[in-house]
Structure 1
Amino acid sequence: MSVTLRQARQPEEGAPRGAGAAPPAVPGTGRPVLLGLTAAMLIGTALFWLPLGGVDMDAIGGHGLIAVLPVATLLGAAVLVLTFMATLALPRPHRLLLSVQIGILIMSLHGVTLALEPVARFSTVWQTAGFIEYVERTHTVSWFLDARFSTPGFFAFAAFVLKAVGQHDIEPVLRWAPPVTNLMYLLPYILILRVLRATWRAKWFAAWLFIAANWVGQDYLSPQAFAYLLYLYFLAILVNWFRHHDETTRRAGRRRGREPAERSGVLWRLYDWLFAAKDPGELPAPKVSLRDQRILLFLLFALLLVGTAAHQLTPFLMTAACGGLVLMRRCSLRGMPIIAGVVYAAWVSFMTVGYWAGRKNEIFGGLGKILTNFQQSTGGRIGNVDGDTQQIQYLRILIAAVIVVLAVAGLLRRRARGIDDRVALVLMLVPFASLGLQNYGGEIGLRIYFFMLPAACLLIAYLFFPAPFDAPAVRAPRVRPSGLARLRTGTRRHWPAVAAASVFALLMAGGFLTVRYGNEKYEQVRRSDVKAFDVMLDNYKTGVVGVVWLSAEDPNLAGGTPVMPWSYREWERFNYTAVIADRNNPGNIAQIVQTLKEQGPGGFFVTTRSHEDFQVLNSGLAADYGVRLRRALASSPEIATVFADRDAAVYRLKAPPADPVLPTPKPTGLGLRSSPWTPAGLIYLPVLLMVLLARELRRLRLFAGSPGTALSPADVRRRLLPLTVLAFPLLIAVVAVVIERFVFIK
């Protein structure tokens, strides 16, 4: 017969002091130990940062930054990891020291390039700057310039904030965004951790892992980073203030008519392990006033609206996570998944029509193709890449697989202790639902890993520290050991778990530095890369600049954009045309010359060292291809060198044709379109949302009664019936309008 957690802890929490064995005294931590840990932390920080000034960034190869980092820096990282784990081994939590250690971890892992590179890394970062600059300058968007203009919420918000604070140079913001963003991620994550039934070591280790395992590079200034922060706050509010108040021990599974004494054997033990009484993995839900819950409900709705307007994938996962929590009885807002789904479907149908009209096969062709989407986001990302770069890709897949396996092991270990971690289970599984959407440009696997990370880190922490609560402390004896002896006394019980977790932490920190910066040879951005685009704008002040760039493969299959800080300002003035490289003869520039002539007087050919390295490592071009190409361009009698240095070069025709001269396109907004049923949908949609919100407010009011007047579920459903009846036909009408728009609008 299984024993519940509640029964197991009765002697400790509810029994008189004389009943059972008294819990051991928890000694304090002497000042010398804390000073030693602080000194080790400072030494590790100095070892990590001081040698970075001598790093030769030009020596980076296919293995990325890890190959050129000084040994002292790597040693400093190890010291920082071990210092944090030693702090976890102390008898009680020292929150200030632990917080400072995690802050240093964030700066060291996510901010290391601040000491190595002169400008913000990652070319996509500069595209975000271009979106923000366009919105700030034009006060609108243009749907045909880029699909991301269909969800412009983040760009508008960032433009407003930058203008409000008077920050005209966005480059410092781009540089500091990764460490600041990861620090901001911790705030809602802490709110999620606080409701879980776990020891302080498990919670702090989960927070540490959440930083060390987040190597996917989605923390730069971007809609995804902003929406992910909203996603975490959305979950934190749900699990903190909208849980059921009857989350007690779950009823045992069906007995099949047998007495407990007759239930023996492997199958019955397995059955009990799966379905017998379990204690919730979350602390009891706190009592919240009706007024506070109403305010939080509207805050959740606001997070949904802003998240939907900011990013295309995150609101789907908001909806799915909320629905999963409702189904698993860890969220009392039963109507919130419907509200979220309506908001998401309406935004896609009405506000992104300029993008999906004419691209239905491209956008929706991946629906349901789970295996294909998974393959394209894993093995499909490796392709014909260089051997060293291929090893980095395989290591990323290995780390993701290890995270999943250890998370499952942590979940099973907790379940073996009679604990039902439903919140963690839902948040772990929900991201995998996005596999059925599309391959997301080959990145759906990375996004799944990114969104499951909060739950996975928690479950891995449970693998090492599975206890549901800390042993209660009693008054320690008057004569206590001091110094190292006191430390040994406090760590005797848990030092094996801390030691095992320390090994894993060291591997994670090393893995982070390897895979996060494994593509740094071409992901770094140099000053000349940015200057190249300024030069083109300065040399052609009116009309569209026709940018010609070299691609080793079909650009429609290989991403379609150069690995450069393209369009970081005056987005609408750039048009990009790829030229397929002649692999056998880098000196063959005939196609480049012909394409420049087709661009007219605004035609420029641009190349950078980072882009050339990308073509070498990912597409198999010869290592000296860029050098030979530049030499051929510079010696051609038809080509003039506009700008050239070691890192970037811009060329144009000496005698460009007078035509074509393409005028700069005007802003077009979101490209909204109508259908016969659209006017009705615009009326039904806000009414439906108001009715659904009113229904949830009514539900909150019904559950806010005193315990003596609590209503049964049947009474609640009966009192909600009028609003349910009103919402149902409105919901059917809105769904019909959404479907009609997808069918009618071509």
Structure 2
Amino acid sequence: MSSVSHEPSLPFSGARQTFGFNDGAALAGTLLPWACLLAAMVLWAISLPEISVDEIGGLGLITALPWTMALSVGLIAGGFVIALGEKPTRRLTPLALILMLVVLLHGTPALVYDNLRYPWAWKHLGVIEYIQRTGSIDPWSRYLAAYHNWPGFFLVFAGLGKLFGLDPIAMSQIGRFFPLGLNLLYALVLPYIFRCLSTDLRLVWTATAIFVVGNWVGQDYFSPQGTAFLLLLIVLALCLGPLAAIPPRPSPHAPALYFDIWRLRLWATRRMPVLPRALSPAMKATAIGVVLSLIVAIVASHQLTPILLIAMLSGLFLLGRLAIGFALFAIAAEVLWLVFVADPFMGQMLSMLVAEFGAVGEDTFGAVIDWNSVSESQRLVSLAGRAIVATIGLAAIAGCVIRFHRGYRDGIAAMLALAPLPLAIATSYGGEVLFRVYFFALPFLSFFAAALVFPAPKSRLQPFKALALALLLMGGSAAFILANNGKDAQYRFSDSEVAAARWLYETSEPNTLLIEGASTYPRQLQNYENMIYVPLPEELPAIAAALSSDPAGLLGDWLHNHDGPAYAIFTRSQNAYFEAMNPLPDSDLSDVVEALLASPDVEIAFVGPDAIVFQPSTERAAPPR
């Protein structure tokens, strides 16, 4: 192994590529993708006014989409496949189609829903409101303590809100478009990362498109997670590009082990693109400063992403493509943050984290749906997500094998894809760690999946592969809408639900008891520290019999027996949760509400078309204490 071949190309530059088109076909290949893009944009615009959120049922948004939306997706997929044959080194047509696919998948719900999706996005607004209201963070907070111990994201948006005079409701309207904005930025950064791994732009664009349809897990909402992931991608782009290095040849007098390691590093990066030209000292210093600043921002904003960042930077060092200083800086920043900033949280959680380490079990799989209890529609929603994961995962394995057979070692891409796996044994992360592992690995799984279509720069896009890729993008988009938007009956909120939550939290006082039909409503959007939360699903099955037989008596007693203000809130989205997840088989949340309406023990404190808030009736005296 005396020499290693590299493909002589820099990111987004290279020799002219042709793929067997004659002049007429080449002209058609140039114009048709743009025609498909324009037609897709028109059909999407026509589709938006036809979408009625009232038609969203157990399968979520997909049930409300008109047929023109499917045709728009088909045009994007067809145009994309055609564009891959039009000398993609010279044109950005595939990227334009990818961006339109992002707009269709993420812009549609942002535009047709009146308010911010996801109840957990609203509690992020609550932390921002707390910082704006108090001018400080509370690392010892009884609720949402993790956010106060990693407050980077919240401090930035609290400052922006103060600067522009935005309250939580106004900021929620901006947050609606966060998935769209983040995914557009993902789609702009990822091609550069992929271009540092392969010279074939067809593979680069295909991998980016697969990432778009594969990113269904919903970690890209108004959150520290989605933002930290973007910062992580930028760090990788800089470290794989301008700051990357080739493993230096050991000194002739070095031990034999050094030469073995050097040869192994070269073998693991065989046939990777040639590195870009060395930066000027000023540009290199700027790039290093940006990377170090982003590392600090990631460490200050999220608990899990820094662990992955350290693993990836360490992997790049071990493969000889990056100086060790970046990994050491990330390790130092993380340790210092945990010891000196997040010590209130770590002091309380360290014993649990140690107990969880290495214990892969029920807690790890806690967020995976229980098919035995949910509705049939939610089983289909879950199946769509699993189908995406399985399809991309199997395609990635096959693509990796084919690339290896073709002489590509892709050690860096493989390391980056495998780096998130240890997270599954390090912590259950509230039962969501499997989703996070998939999310973190997805860019590099997409790279290998795209290699199944384009294993090498000289490989032709054969008709059956073109058809398979188009079907993957169309079927993947449909599965994405099912998996990502399949719970929107629970996760989208009407103006009435927002108004009820806003009234409730605005009028709350410290030590207020809040009984919740479920946690699926605009929860904790402000003054969240005033509440004592009692979500009914978390009290099951202990109260199942009483809640089914005498809900008014049970909840009436809770409201009256509390020493302080007490409320119970029920919303349309909470009822959708009960219908989909079936936590109370013998009755429904609507039965609970009807019983409360007929009870003299409670009275209505607030009512709207989609929400109602009860409080103890003044006609019933609380029992003596």
TM-score between both structures, scaled by the size of structure 1: 0.73
- Counterpart amino acid of residue 509 in structure 1: S
Q: CA contact under 8 A between 2:198 and 2:204: conserved in structure 1?
A: no
Aligned to 1:576, which of 509, 523, 533? 533
Q: Give the aligned residue type for 2:220.
A: D
Question: Aligned partners of 2:153, 2:485: CA distance in 1, in Å?
Answer: 26
Is residue 597–residue 656 contact of structure 1 (8 Å, CA) maintained in 2?
no
Task: Give 2:488's match in structure 1, choosing from 520, 534, 556.
Answer: 520
Name the aligned partner's letter for residue 402 of structure 2.
R
CA distance 1:610–1:88, shift in 2 (3 Å): same
2:102 aligned partner: 106
Distance in 1, Cα, partners of 2:549 & 2:83: 57
What corresponds to 1:563 in structure 2?
520
Q: Which residue does 2:253 correspond to in 1?
A: none
| Aligned AA (1:321) | M
1:127 matched to 2:123? The reply is yes
Which residue pairs with 2:261 in the alignment? Answer: none
For 2:204 and 2:248, locate their aligned partners in 1 and report how far apart those are by CA, in whole Å.
21
What is residue 13 of structure 2 aligned with on the other side? none
**2:235 maps to amino acid:** F
Q: Does 1:462 align with 2:451?
A: yes
Kept in 2: contact 1:234–1:303 (CA 8 A): yes
Cα displacement (A) at 1:70: 2.0
The Cα of 1:611 is off from its aligned counterpart by 1.1
Partner of residue 681, structure 1: none
Q: Give the corresponding residue for 1:358.
A: 348
By how many angstroms is 1:160 displaced? 1.6
**Aligned equivalents of 1:658, 1:309: Cα separation in 2:** 50
1:288 paired to 2:279? yes
Q: Structure 1 residue 72 and structure 2 residue 68: aligned?
A: yes
Task: Please say if 1:407 is aligned against 2:407.
Answer: no
Give the superposition deviation at 1:8.
Answer: 13
Q: 1:656 to 1:88 in 2, by over 3 A?
A: farther
CA distance 1:289–1:620, shift in 2 (3 Å): same
How far apart, CA to CA, are the structure 2 residues paired with 1:37 and 1:187? Answer: 19
Q: Counterpart of 1:280 in 2: which secondary structure?
A: coil
Structure 1: how far apart are the matches of 2:26 and 2:391? Answer: 37
Distance 1:2 1:498 in 2: 38
Which residue does the alignment assign to 2:333?
343
**CA separation of 1:612/1:470 partners in 2, compared to 1, >3 Å: closer, same or farther?**
same
Q: Is 1:279 the counterpart of 2:270 in the alignment?
A: yes
Q: Say whether the 8 Å CA contact 1:282–1:421 is kept in structure 2.
A: no
Q: Name 2:219's counterpart in structure 1.
A: 218
2:241 corresponds in structure 1 to: 240
Greater shift after overlay, 235-244 or 44-53? 44-53
Amino acid at match of 1:513: I
Alignment deviations for residues 309-363 of structure 1 (CA, whole Å, 9 cap, x no partner)? 10000000000001111112222x1233232222212222322222233333433
CA gap 1:596/1:103 in 2 versus in 1, 3 angstroms: same
Question: Do residues 533 (structure 1) and 533 (structure 2) align?
Answer: no
> What is the identity percentage for the equivalent residue pairs of Structure 1 and Structure 2?
25
Q: Are 2:109 and 1:90 aligned?
A: no
Q: Which runs of 5+ in 2 are unaligned?
A: 10-17, 250-264
CA change 1:493–1:159 in 2 (3 A) is: closer
Q: Secondary structure at the match of 1:652?
A: strand
Aligned partners of 1:228, 1:155: CA distance in 2, in Å? 16
Please state how far the C-alpha of 1:616 moved relative to its aligned partner: 2.7
Give 1:12-27 correspondences, 5 Å limit: 27=23
Q: Quick one: distance in 1 between partners of 2:242 and 2:84?
A: 29
Q: 1:394 to 1:204 in 2, by over 3 A?
A: same
Distance 2:574 2:568 in 1: 13
> 1:189 Cα shift?
1.8
8 A contact 2:19–2:85 mirrored in 1:
no
1:549 aligned onto 2:550 = no
Amino acid paired to 1:645: G
Q: Quick one: structure 1 residues 371 and 642, their matched pair in 2 at CA, closer, same or farther if it must change by over 3 Å? A: closer
RMSD: 3.3
| Match for residue 589 of structure 2 among 616, 626, 629 | 626
Contact persistence 2:6–2:271 (CA under 8 A): no
Aligned to 1:603: 566
CA deviation map 1:692-727 (0-9, x unaligned): xxxxxxxxxxxxxxxxxxxxxxxxxxxxxxxxxxxx
Give the conservation status (yes or no) of the 8 Å contact 1:586–1:629.
Answer: no
Distance change (3 Å), C-alpha of 1:174 and 1:30: same
Contact 2:55 2:64 survives alignment (8 Å): yes
Paired residue secondary structure (2:79): helix
What CA deviation, in whole Å up to 9, does each residue of 1:667-694 have, x standing for no partner? xxxxxxxxxxxxxxxxxxxxxxxxxxxx
Letter of the 1:189 partner, please give it.
Answer: L
Q: Does residue 370 of structure 1 match 2:337?
A: no
Q: Provide closer, same or farther for how the CA distance between residues 56 and 7 of structure 1 changes in structure 2, counting only shifts above 3 A.
A: closer
Task: Give the Cα separation in 1 of the matches to 2:275 and 2:401.
Answer: 22
Could you say which residue in structure 2 is the equivalent of 1:137?
133
Aligned to 1:41: 37
Give per-residue Cα distances to partners, 1:124-174, cap 9 Å, x unaligned: 111111111111222211221312211001100111223334444212211
Structure 1 or 2, whichever has the larger Rg, is: 1
The CA deviation at 1:28 is 8.0
Checking the alignment, whether the CA contact within 8 Å between 2:571 and 2:611 is kept in structure 1 is yes
8 A contact 2:125–2:526 mirrored in 1? yes
**55-64 vs 407-416, greater mean Cα deviation:** 55-64
Q: Specify the code of the residue in structure 2 equivalent to 1:149.
A: H
Shift in alpha-carbon separation, 1:26–1:149, aligned structure 2, 3 A: farther
Q: Distance in 2 between matches of 1:54 and 1:229?
A: 33
Task: Give the equivalent residue in structure 1 for 2:49.
Answer: 53
1:499-542 Cα shifts (integer Å, max 9, x gaps): 3322222221121111111111211111122111222245x464
What is the aligned partner in structure 2 of residue 509 from structure 1? 477
Aligned partners of 2:510, 2:51: CA distance in 1, in Å? 42
- The equivalences for 1:389-400 within 5 A come to 389-400=378-389
Which residue of structure 2 lines up, in the alignment, with residue 636 of structure 1? 599
| Equivalent of residue 320 in structure 1, options 308, 311, 320 | 311
Q: 1:39 Cα deviation (Å)?
A: 2.9
SS of 1:464's partner is coil
Shift of 1:456: 1.1
Q: Identify unmatched segments of 5+ residues in structure 1.
A: 10-21, 249-273, 472-491, 552-561, 661-746
Contact 2:61 2:482 in 1 (8 A): yes
Q: Deviations over 1:164-215 (max 9, x none)?
A: 3444421221111110111122333233123233311111111222222111
Q: Secondary structure at the match of 2:308?
A: helix
More off after superposition, 651-660 vs 39-48: 651-660
| 1:330 is the counterpart of 2:321 | yes
Shift of 1:606: 0.3
Q: Distance in 2 between matches of 1:65 and 1:164?
A: 35
- Contact map agreement 1:321 1:426 (CA 8 A) in 2: yes
**Aligned partner of residue 245 in structure 2, secondary structure:** coil
- TM-score normalized by structure 2? 0.86
